[in-house]
Amino acid sequence: MGQIRDFLMPDLGEGLESGEIVAWNVDVGDRVELNQEICEVETAKATVAVPSPFAGTVVERFADVGDELEVGIPLVRIDVEEEHVPDAAEAAEAGPEADESTGRRSVLVGYGAAEGRTRRRRSGAVQAPDGDAPSAPLAKPPVRKLAGDLGVDLAAIAPGSGPGGAITREDVRAAAAALDKRPRPVADREGFRGRSPGEVLPVTGVRKRIVAKVTRSRTTIPEATTSVTVDCTRTWELASELTTRARAEGHDVRVSAFAVVTRSVVLALRRFPTLNAVLDEDAGEIRLLEPIHLGVAVDTDRGLLVPVVRNAHSRTTLDLARELDRLTMAAREGSVGPDDLTGGTFTINNYGALGSDWGDPIINHPEAGILGVGAMKERPWVADGRLVVRRTVTLTIAFDHRISDGGEAGRFVAYVGDLVEQPARIVLHA
Amino acid sequence: MTATVTMAQALNRALHDEMRDDDRVLVFGEDVGRLGGVFRITDRLQATFGEERCFDTPLAESGILGTSLGLALYGFKPVPEMQFDGFTYPGFEQLVSHIAKYRNRSRGTVQLPLTVRIPYGGGIGAVEHHSESPESYWVHTAGLKVVTPGTPADAYSMLRQAIQSPDPVVFLEPKRRYWMKVDVDLPVADPQPMEQALVRQPGTDVTLVVYGPMVRTGLEAAAAASEDLGVSLEVVDLRSLNPLDEDTLIASVRRTGRCVVVHEASLTLGMGAEIAARVQELAFYHLEAPVLRVTGFDTPYPPAKLEDFWLPDVDRILDFVERSLRY
Amino acid sequence: MGDSEEPDREANEPHEGPDYRSLLDPDTDPAELLPNLQPIRLLDRNGQLGEHEAYPLDLKDEDLRTLYRHMVVARRVDREAINLQRQGQLGVYASCLGQEAAQVGSAYALADQDWIFPSYRELAAGIVRGIDTAGMLQLYRGTWLSDYDPYEFHFALMAIPISTQCLHAAGFAMGARLAGEPVVTLVYFGDGATSEGDFHEASNFAAVFQAPCVFFCQNNQYAISVPLSKQTHAPSIAHKGVGYGMPGRRVDGNDVLASYAVTKWASERARRGEGPTLIEALTYRMEAHTTSDDPTRYRTREELDYWATFDPIARMEKFLKGRDLWEDRFAAAVEDEAREQSGHVRDQIYDAPHPDPEELFAHVYVEPPPHLERQRRQLQAELAGGGEPAPGGGDLEGLVDAQRREVL
């Protein structure tokens, strides 16, 4: 009594997926010997004779001449003579059945048809970790950012309701809501930037540098101040339009009115180079500087920082806006580097962003001037003899009188004012 | 006209068309002439273009790559074949120390428009040294472009672009996909530049980053994820490993917030490491889960009977997709 | 150019400058290194034994029969390996059909303590060393990457990348010389291998260090499809030895006795401290390069038929018959052994189970590092499958680990 065995189409040449039957050498009912060539198969690489792995009688041929057969598909069925059947132990380990335990068919030496999906190897073993929560609060980056934005202290609300005690968005939002509702007694309220009356603040770091810098400026530079107030409505509108356009072009940036003012200042400095200059008393010279590196005063938790927009004269408005954005962010995040904080040739102070209408800025030593930009707000304005509501701004220049005279500085600030009133002129001159 | 082609045929056609269009293109290597290459990628090229433009070389990979440099310097566009991934290593010095650096050393005065074709990757039941995934070595080498197609259409278009590229290109052919068939029009109209990644399948939940042989596996995984887990995978086919198309990659991760990278090469310092680094640099606040890597293990490539346990497959991908979603 | 020829300056002018000859090894006479163009042959096609003064035969009748027996067994196992590949049981196989004499003769010439460095086609040499042929085929089945102990059989691991093993043999021989032990190495490689840089470097090292190494090139005429004429423009492969300062010898690789005698001479030379030798055994690869190859694309039926007339086994059989060393009992015993060996190979290979997948991680380092251990647990979890947690936690630990490390 025999045993029925299927001989599956082998991978005849390292990674082949199929082969075409070009000839059968045996018919159904024929007896075949072990290794007797039963058919010829043409693959993408060669035509080869296929020997039978079993001795016995051919029961069925699964393909005709001309058929393309995938690797791993039954090719021929043979009623195997008993003496050639592997013993029970071997049989248990052999054949397609045995390899099913691994989800793979055994004849497939190569890739072939083996990439049929199985569900058997899915480990399914990953469970949310429970208990034994690590001591530091667990939260993913967007949740950490949200917590930072909402002022929620993660450590205070850990463990969270997520897997393994991770803090979720919902946890943070709930904590923030609770924070807002909490009654806060006046006596407990902290002052600006957490400072309270009676505290002693050490003069170190940024504060120490500010002390030295402004003292030096006010004691060594004989400065004078002059200002103009102008209608900045068009600059305001232009900024908003430029932002829309830049975003339409795929730039993730806000072009602020301040950026447009900055652009105007660059043009004005080119026209009045004594405002972008250095006095060298030892050499007895005033050097009018070629590059314009614009310092921008930024109010941060650490105090005043003045990051520098390098080579402002060779930047487009878009570029300026981007760089202002980056530097302001970096200064506020405390990630601004020393390279970004030195080497300015002229400074702009946007105290208007804090709501101030007018200021008396201190020159950033050893520069030749500083421009203060007040708040751009709607105010009553006289135009063509009529009172109208316009958005206006006061621009103030403090300048080193040793380097520039009032005539130059006055014209400078008036020119900046003109450009702010009619920003189209920027295009004319840039 | 649409016809059914295998990746091997598409590559053969690309070589043929480039040789036809530009007589500076030379194809050479071990057994590429009369035999047509051990994978038949250069089939009939010698008969069509003669023994001067498609020829067998002595058995010497350093020789093949080093002389490619010389031929390119003379003005030819060599397209040498490395017979198998594991046999590129004798040519390592020529590729890394010379072909990659020549342009830079000459301050850009010398261009080396040569394309090194390398069948790579496993899954074909081959003996050892025939299933290696050496892409990290080349990607780590400044001066080389490294690209790898995942479909017959890409194989055709990208090989043509590689040959036309003025920079040296390592063209990695996923050998387990040589015999995959698709219906496609060749030449492909208006092909995507080879340096750009492609969203092969849009999805919303997890970005699955794949390339070369794993493109097909990744798409199968996406189908399975949708069917079995109700999870929508966005499959990004990198196509170019160097340069890396960050825009497509990062845009996808920002959409999904999750990223799983799949490659055959071993885990440590594989492409997945670089992708994880870039994603956390450029999309940190979008990440809902750490970038996970589904790769071969940190062992030598296994014998054929164990390769299915070693290679990433649909199941392993789904394991990691689920893990990503658990964060 | 004028009518009169330039006078030969070398001949007419006194030689000036340094004495270049003193820079050369005085013991090296380039003429002695030059190979014989006609391959050394002891057995002709009809099995008639000739003699060669320089390469005497020291074999007893039993040795002669053994040589024949090894060749027949090798051929039968080789055939069975091809069948097994066609039945999907081996991924690929590189046949040694036609090269049995070159391998058996040379391997038989070595002393027990000598080491063989094979490429991937040396089934017959492995049989001489008594290695289980089924074990040798496990590389091709892909059960594991090797299946015998190199120290037990003095048979290094098979090397698939071309020519690389030449350097290993040279280095091993350098070691033997350093240790002062009478150990010789023999490295097998093909004609194509002589184009690789590693062959050059190995030859040079062996010669410079006078390492006891026999370079045994089986010139089977083809490197896959590329014929010898496209591989080298040298007068012969054996001539390459001259450039390194080692003798080159050409031998009829289909003559088992000549292969034996020339290897014996070279190995004893090496053992005496006289340095390496390059032997070029001229033979023919009667099968495809491997089972993945299609030789009909690059060579003709006629060429194959021609070389079949030089069959090494038929030649030896005629010789044994002529010597009255052929008895029915002997023939039956050889047949029994061949059948037994090929049956053994079939039993061991056919549907052989794959090894435990966890073995992937077992041998990479002496102590598996933590990341490999983690990967082993990952596979373990996959193998457990079916949503059952893996023993020891598997991925669960990995996740907690990962999160812990993330916050630290």
Tens of pLDDT, residue by residue over B62-99, are: 999 999 999 999 999 999 999 999 999 999 999 999 99
Determine contact: B98 vs chain A, CB below 8 A: no
With beta carbons under 8 A apart, name residues in chain C contacting B63: 195, 197
Nearest to A121 among B40, B179, B315 (CB): B315
The C-alpha of A152 sits at a distance from chain B's nearest C-alpha, in angstroms, of 17
Nearest to C399 among B87, B315, B323 (CB): B323
Query: Which residues does A372 contact at the CB level (< 8 Å), separation at least 6?
Result: A227, A348, A349, A351, A358, A359, A360, A361, A395, A396, A397, A398
Interface of A with C in 9-48 (CB under 8 A): 9-14, 35, 45-48
- Looking at residues A131-156, what average pLDDT do you find? 80
Confidence of residue C396 (pLDDT cuts 50, 70, 90): very low
Of A81, B319, B40, nearest in space to C379 by CA? B319
DSSP assignment of A269-325 = HHHSGGGSEEEETTTTEEEEPSS--EEEEEEETTEEE--EETTGGG--HHHHHHHHH
Please answer yes or no on whether B60 and C196 come within 8 Å at the CB atom: yes
In this prediction, residue A159 carries a pLDDT of 87
Separation between Cα atoms, residue C67 and residue C108, nearest integer Å: 8
Confidence of residue A83 (pLDDT cuts 50, 70, 90): low
Residue A297, classified by CB atoms within 10 Å of its CB into exposed (0-12), middle (13-18) or buried (19+), is buried
Of A105, A55, A62, nearest in space to A78 by CA? A55
Confidence of residue C250 (pLDDT cuts 50, 70, 90): very high
Percent of chain B with pLDDT over 90: 96
Cα→Cα distances A127→A363, C203, C378, C381, C389, Å: 62, 59, 14, 12, 9
In this prediction, residue A12 carries a pLDDT of 85
Q: Are B38 and C293 in contact (CB under 8 A)?
A: yes
Determine contact: C204 vs chain A, CB below 8 A: no
Chains interfacing with C (3 or more CB pairs < 8 Å): A, B
Separation between Cα atoms, residue C272 and residue C184, nearest integer Å: 10
**How long a stretch of residues is chain A?**
430
Please answer yes or no on whether A86 and C350 come within 8 Å at the CB atom: yes
**How long a stretch of residues is chain C?**
408
The C-alpha of A293 sits at a distance from chain B's nearest C-alpha, in angstroms, of 28
The C-alpha of C82 sits at a distance from chain B's nearest C-alpha, in angstroms, of 15
Q: Quickly count: other Cβ atoms within 10 Å of residue C78's Cβ.
A: 26
Q: Quickly count: other Cβ atoms within 10 Å of residue A20's Cβ.
A: 16
In this prediction, residue A183 carries a pLDDT of 60
Q: Are C364 and C390 in contact (CB under 8 A)?
A: no
Please answer yes or no on whether B90 and C230 come within 8 Å at the CB atom: no
Please answer yes or no on whether A13 and C92 come within 8 Å at the CB atom: yes
- Looking at residues A255-261, what average pLDDT do you find? 93
Q: Are A139 and A157 in contact (CB under 8 A)?
A: no
Confidence of residue C13 (pLDDT cuts 50, 70, 90): low
With beta carbons under 8 A apart, name residues in chain A contacting B313: 115, 121
Percent of chain C with pLDDT over 90: 81
Give the H/E segment covering residue A5.
Answer: strand A3-8
Per residue in C18-61, pLDDT tens? 777 666 677 778 888 999 989 999 999 889 999 888 899 999 99
**C312 pLDDT higher than 90:** yes
In whole numbers, what is the pLDDT of chain B averaged over residues? 96
**C16 pLDDT higher than 80:** no
In this prediction, residue B39 carries a pLDDT of 94
Determine contact: A113 vs chain C, CB below 8 A: no
Per residue in A185-213, pLDDT tens? 554 556 777 777 777 787 877 788 888 88
Amino acid at the residue A116: G
With beta carbons under 8 A apart, name residues in chain B contacting C232: 58
Take residue C181 and report the two structure tokens written for it: 């032990």
Is C298 assigned a catalytic role?
yes
Instruction: Decide which of A336 and A322 is more confident.
Output: A322
Confidence of residue A305 (pLDDT cuts 50, 70, 90): confident
- Chain C's closest residue to B60, CA to CA, is C196
- Chain B's closest residue to C140, CA to CA, is B127
Query: Which residues does A202 contact at the CB level (< 8 Å), separation at least 6?
Result: none
Task: Note the pTM of the prediction, 2 decimals.
Answer: 0.72
Q: Quickly count: other Cβ atoms within 10 Å of residue A1's Cβ.
A: 5
Of C274, C278, C279, C280, nearest in space to C28 by CA? C274
The C-alpha of C386 sits at a distance from chain A's nearest C-alpha, in angstroms, of 6
- Chain B's closest residue to C292, CA to CA, is B38
Per residue in A93-131, pLDDT tens? 433 333 333 333 333 333 333 344 444 566 654 443 333
CA angle B303, B308, B314 (to 5 degrees): 155
- Chain B's closest residue to C199, CA to CA, is B60
In whole numbers, what is the pLDDT of chain C averaged over residues? 90
- Looking at residues B43-69, what average pLDDT do you find? 97
In this prediction, residue B98 carries a pLDDT of 95
Percent of chain A with pLDDT over 90: 48
The C-alpha of B278 sits at a distance from chain A's nearest C-alpha, in angstroms, of 15
Of A67, A301, A401, A429, catalytic: A401
Q: Which of C84, C87, C95, C226 to mutate to test the interface with B (most CBs of B within 10 A)?
A: C226
Per residue in B212-262, pLDDT tens? 999 999 999 999 999 999 999 999 999 999 999 999 999 999 999 999 999
In this prediction, residue C393 carries a pLDDT of 33
In this prediction, residue A302 carries a pLDDT of 76
The C-alpha of B309 sits at a distance from chain A's nearest C-alpha, in angstroms, of 9
Is B286 assigned a catalytic role?
no
The C-alpha of A263 sits at a distance from chain B's nearest C-alpha, in angstroms, of 29
Verify cis geometry, omega within 30 degrees of 0, for the bond prior to A366.
Answer: yes
Is A405 assigned a catalytic role?
yes
- Looking at residues C185-205, what average pLDDT do you find? 97
Determine contact: A55 vs chain C, CB below 8 A: no
In this prediction, residue A207 carries a pLDDT of 81
Per residue in A209-254, pLDDT tens? 888 888 989 889 999 999 999 999 999 999 999 999 988 888 888 8
**C4 pLDDT higher than 80:** no
With beta carbons under 8 A apart, name residues in chain C contacting B60: 195-197
With beta carbons under 8 A apart, name residues in chain B contacting C167: none
Determine contact: B227 vs chain A, CB below 8 A: no
Separation between Cα atoms, residue C349 and residue B304, nearest integer Å: 14
Separation between Cα atoms, residue C176 and residue C216, nearest integer Å: 19
Within C228-340, strands assigned E span 248-252, 277-282
Nearest to B31 among C225, C371, C372 (CB): C225
Least confident of A67-76, A363-372, C193-202, C380-389: C380-389
Handedness of CA A218, A221, A222, A223 (dihedral sign): negative
With beta carbons under 8 A apart, name residues in chain C contacting A8: 88
Confidence of residue A294 (pLDDT cuts 50, 70, 90): very high
- Looking at residues C310-331, what average pLDDT do you find? 95
In this prediction, residue C22 carries a pLDDT of 66
- Looking at residues A72-83, what average pLDDT do you find? 86
Q: How many CA atoms lie within 13 A of B154 on its CB side?
A: 29
Take residue A270 and report the two structure tokens written for it: 């080119």
3-state secondary structure A175-219: HHHHHHHCCCCHHHCCCHHHCCCCCCCCCCHHHHHHHHHHHHHHH
Please answer yes or no on whether A134 and C403 come within 8 Å at the CB atom: yes
- Looking at residues C384-396, what average pLDDT do you find? 45
Determine contact: A51 vs chain C, CB below 8 A: yes
